[in-house]
Structure 1
């Protein structure tokens, strides 16, 4: 089944929840509205092709946020057992409400660090743009390794340590201030992330760059459009999505503002 993204947004977004009728119409016309998350999901779908089949697997979304990836997988693979974990109580509560409304009986939520999770023997653990918010010495690579069954895969996608921009950086000062405070773990380039995986005992099965110039243009355009208000967001949203898909088609794997590595736990 094809993975779809953003179906839970009308249940997790405070702005959309307040007007459910308008929210459904808005979603039908414009689709998912967070360009950054939308771009990440297009990469995530491609990364899944480099893992074993997960249709009947046990899966952990590590740092689930509002559960968009976990909900997508649980919806597409009803025979899979999907776990969504985060330490943010409000977000996990929102995810739980969304899973109840969507009647996803194969999805489970956890509000705790991964080392407090009793479940183990996962076929797949993934963490999409989460580890940059964690100090390097606290990144749970080893715990994830221990929670995987032999042969299981661990996906980590994070921003590249070196970022390239198109428009003048002063246009994004507010965002840069947020990054300085939040991205305490944005220290790895691709080789550095691969080395970290190897140190923790993983076999590297995939490593790549994503988010080239076209994707960067899409993000910057959407960011500036959103700052102008709702109309600006609506005008720039479809254009940004178009550039994201174009980037996925033409991007070469020699540089990108994002990096991703898949590690496999050895069979023995």
Structure 2
């Protein structure tokens, strides 16, 4: 895939599709937008595993207007929401199933898995499957919570198995045939400021609940409240000073999540 300039008319902003502006989520998305700017302009196909409310896939559908996209989730409630949100774009296909065990059709130029692998016990197999689904030279955008020392009640509530360490991710990407183009931390300083509030909120939410990791995972991507696009854009713009600070320290370990842009190595 060769890089070609993207016409101005195609340069969609990620906040144009938002309906779920949670602070940590927004901090992640603005950095993903920087990743997307590095991608070739002729992406023809993409797969998003665990798309949540679909904000990112809708953005990619606008940014790459010739690409077909597949949004895959094992939660039927998630698919019901996505069906409403993607009805205006026939190039976006919805699939229900567990990407670890289901059969897959074809390969992709780009795969996205944001806040997914921490929900998977056997994440090495997950990396292998993603590598197998990518075309040679294809790209993988990945995000996950960072640092086990930052384990918190939100991880328990969401059904996580782990938070990742930097060296661990480098090893797993390399082992499965990827070259890492960028590995950034995200969330700082918003996640630090909101930590006490999040601990209290998820502590109260956990009281009296004994959900399985699977049930916790199914609800984790769709629990954010839906609001109007104008309100979402307003809230997203309020965080601009924090986006600036995050961008200054994205190559440090100050954040509480990792974002990775990796490319599948072409055969020699």
TM-score w.r.t. structure 1 length? 0.72
> What is the number of residues matched between the two proteins?
225
Larger RCO (CA within 8 A; separation ≥ 6): 2
Please name the residue that 1:180 is paired with: 156
CA contact (8 A) 1:35 1:240 kept: no
SS in 1 for 2:47: strand
Please name the residue that 2:206 is paired with: none
C-alpha spacing 1:43/1:239, structure 2 compared with 1 (3 Å):
closer
Please name the residue that 1:37 is paired with: 25
1:82 has 2:69 as partner: yes
Q: CA deviation at 1:215?
A: 2.8
Please name the residue that 1:93 is paired with: 80
Q: CA deviation at 1:48?
A: 2.1
Among candidates 185, 188, 192, match of residue 168 of structure 2? 192
Please name the residue that 2:5 is paired with: none
Larger proportion of helix:
1
For residues 203 and 97 of structure 1, the distance between their equivalents in structure 2, rounded to whole angstroms, comes to: 36
Q: CA deviation at 1:251?
A: 1.9
Q: CA deviation at 1:222?
A: 7.9
For residues 179 and 247 of structure 2, the distance between their equivalents in structure 1, rounded to whole angstroms, comes to: 28
For residues 247 and 178 of structure 2, the distance between their equivalents in structure 1, rounded to whole angstroms, comes to: 29
Q: CA deviation at 1:128?
A: 1.1
1:111 has 2:111 as partner: no
Residues 210-248 of structure 1, C-alpha deviation per residue, up to 9 Å, x if partnerless?
Answer: 222x23246449859x99xx9xxx9xx579624432323
Q: What's the RMSD between the two structures over aligned residues? A: 3.1
CA contact (8 A) 1:162 1:257 kept: no
1:203 has 2:179 as partner: yes
TM-score w.r.t. structure 2 length? 0.72
C-alpha spacing 1:262/1:56, structure 2 compared with 1 (3 Å):
closer
1:266 has 2:265 as partner: yes
Q: CA deviation at 1:183?
A: 4.6
Please name the residue that 2:107 is paired with: 121
Residues 37-81 of structure 1, C-alpha deviation per residue, up to 9 Å, x if partnerless?
Answer: 22221121122234x314442011111112111111113322111
For residues 76 and 219 of structure 1, the distance between their equivalents in structure 2, rounded to whole angstroms, comes to: 32
For residues 92 and 62 of structure 1, the distance between their equivalents in structure 2, rounded to whole angstroms, comes to: 12
For residues 36 and 104 of structure 2, the distance between their equivalents in structure 1, rounded to whole angstroms, comes to: 25
For residues 121 and 97 of structure 1, the distance between their equivalents in structure 2, rounded to whole angstroms, comes to: 26
Please name the residue that 2:217 is paired with: none
For residues 260 and 45 of structure 1, the distance between their equivalents in structure 2, rounded to whole angstroms, comes to: 11
SS in 2 for 1:185: coil
